[in-house]
Structure 1
């Protein structure tokens, strides 16, 4: 056993319930916390602009919390192996521990790094710090992956074990000499537009922010099943970006809802647990089908008659800017641009509109979400877009096209969500606020006319579906 170990932080930016950190502090005298920004490895799925803003803030808070415990966060860029070697030369470290990331490019890199470290005499071990079940364990009896959520969720429930947890360290012994570190600003994570100010008004990245979010949601979780589909109400947890960056673990969330670690009682809490299971299912699919961020899971959809980029460029731009003339779609896209987040019900509405009413490939929408969502997660983003487009796992047995008008009337009945994000429509009465505007009304209110006819483009999408189905 060596006296000093490196803990390589990645998507686990927390001190509590951190298996790699807990192992290092229990088996070694000194710990060197390290974060390496290596976007080239993750390309083309390195963090988008909103994600980089969040990462900047979260790394800053993690460093502060480590300093409170007598330690600090070492920052490096580029090849992690080079960073490990530099630290070994200064501190004599002989062990590296980390929590696993399950994205295809990262998995391949980590395997190569682990083998190289062992060849060079390092002690190394990786841990599960972000999922309730490893993707290779949550499979059918014959070893095949699940392609439908409901049996996957039933499998998790049948084989449920309370997730392990570890305490937050009160102190961390530093090495005799600290290695050199980049400054946080050297990583150049912050976008060069006004997002930092916008996003900071809505979010508090970091472990403490995650804890406050979770504390605030614990009581509200009892009504989650009734409130989660209402974008006009604060009925969701807001934990998704904290989960993505590992500022809170799914085990911590479940233990907050049920301290025993068993599945929680009560409909609302159990429905929320099933949403965590959807996150597990998405990682399960990404692990077993690593090409899905770019290719449709259903082979037939690779021949779907999408429009060509030159034909849809203007429509895509209108969708991105929240200027489609379809109120519920525009409200969602404006919420995304202003806050870096969008209510999940509205995500399905805007994704259906893009892929089905506009016949724009789902990859375009997934790429825009990747750059603008603070909770952009490769597994969840991929699964969500493929599910809505109808080309992924667990898709409905029919080709579902969301009607944004009916969806708005059902889930935002008083128009409160629309009035917040489309203030041009604030004077319209609830019975009409979700309807597209006539040419005269659009001009008088300064709001765009609809760029497509919902009924006609729905028919076009169904015809396209019939072509590949046959």
Structure 2
């Protein structure tokens, strides 16, 4: 193909509407070829039945079918991105590659490599802000330092938002600028080495009723009070701009502030990429973790003898989802009751959670371990028994996921709460003094 084209590279933005980078590409002077790469670097670490890969594949097929009705298609490749681009420059006359920003350490290095290669071939690489309202250095303290405490960050975010033009990018009028070509490469799930997962990523719910009742219901795992937005924000099947608009329209501060928490952790990861493997507070890397592999296995299986902890882990293993309130408890139990390194828990969640997002996952695990930004003092240790009284008094959630909790076969508590608490306090004190 000799006619110059622009490429739009889909990544964490799997939607056709209100997609900033896609919109800018479509408005350009050259026909647009949309593209997605199943990245070996990411796929090679996943089991062959992964609900997230099934979800991405299904979403891309739906997007492809939508475009093929009237306009064009999406080219789907598998490989290392740099190798895919080396082949693309041989096959097409590429004027520019457009994409949306990504903030994780791997993505930043990947994009740097791609940009350098394209520049060597006289091809522009243009990137846009899409998955957040504010990014990088856009919400910082007066002296330019990043916020490391949520509340002042949130207040500053809201102040900045007052004068922010929340633009929705309407791509529809520009879709006739796509490359008119329905025979772009496609791949089946088996082509990329995966099987259809038995787990499904649930649709999200952001009805006015859910948003209005969010504060009243969100802490109770037996109630259907959460939006299930996580995976959809993670993979960009929903627009953050539209979600913020909804939160504002319903005048629900708590729902809105949950969206701001996500951006808080994203800017923390961008400013402090070392927090993926190192404690934000360096002293916490002195903790002598017990890291007992057998105990870790029991925690993973939901066999700790503490019903609310076990309910959370079993829900995660069976569905790929865990209620946020319960995530805090199971994380705290691993780090503080069992003295197992938060990085072990973070890696397990990365494997299992449908809504896994590195920034939020690392941020929240460091929070429960006490080592992260804005973390609770280390001596605050959740009591897994009194948490039932607070959040699952009628045992609805526990009965759903741990129906055996009153049977003789149910495991004994793997550690006594009082003993574990004192052991934890001693280990943390020794490390921090």
Q: What is the TM-score with the length of structure 1 in the denominator?
A: 0.85
2:422 is aligned to: 459
8 Å CA contact 1:153–1:277 kept in 2: the answer is yes
The number of aligned residues is 427
Give CA deviations for 1:242-295 in whole Å, capped at 9, x if unaligned: 000011122110122335xxxx62xxx211111111100111110111011111
Question: Is the 1:336–1:342 contact (alpha carbons within 8 Å) kept by the matching residues of 2?
Answer: yes
- CA–CA distance in 2 between the matches of 1:101 and 1:43? 20
Checking the alignment, whether the CA contact within 8 Å between 1:52 and 1:190 is kept in structure 2 is: no
Unaligned segments of structure 2, at least 5 residues = none
Residues 354-369 of structure 1 aligned to structure 2 (within 5 Å): 354-369=334-349
- Extract unaligned runs of 5+ from structure 1: 429-441
For 1:164, the equivalent position in structure 2 comes to 167
Match of 1:299 among 282, 299, 303: 282
Q: Note closer, same or farther for the CA distance 1:330–1:317 as it changes in structure 2 (3 Å cut).
A: same
Decide whether the 8 Å contact of 1:91 with 1:177 is kept in 2: no
Residue pair 2:369, 2:378 contacting (<8 A) in 1 also: no
Query: What are the equivalent positions in structure 2 for 1:3-82 lying under 5 Å apart?
Result: 4-40=5-41, 49-82=50-83
2:26–2:171 Cα contact (<8 Å) kept? no
CA deviation map 1:28-64 (0-9, x unaligned): 3522111112242798799994433332333333323
The residue matched to 1:374 in structure 2 has which SS? Answer: coil
Q: Name the SS for the 2:137 alignment partner.
A: coil
* Distance in 2 of aligned mates of 1:176 and 1:246: 25
Correspondence for 1:321: 301
CA contact (8 A) 2:154 2:260 kept: yes
Q: Distance in 1 between matches of 2:44 and 2:282?
A: 24
Q: 1:251 to 1:463 in 2, by over 3 A?
A: same
Q: Check conservation: 1:56, 1:190, Cα contact below 8 A.
A: no
| Aligned residues of 2:338 and 2:420 also touching (Cα < 8 A) | yes
TM-score by length of 2: 0.92
The question of whether the paired residues in 1 share the 8 Å contact of 2:72 and 2:182 is answered with no
Check conservation: 1:56, 1:189, Cα contact below 8 A.
Answer: no
Displacement after TM superposition at 1:174 (Å)? 4.1
CA RMSD of aligned residues (A): 2.3
Change (3 A) 1:356 1:346: same
Q: Any idea what the Cα deviations from partners look like across 1:186-242, whole Å, max 9, x if unmatched?
A: 222447xxxx22x23xx34xxxx45xx33xx33211121111111010111110000
Aligned 1:218-297 pairs, distance under 5 A: 218-258=208-248, 265=251, 269-297=252-280
Tell me, what secondary structure is at the counterpart of 1:105? Answer: helix
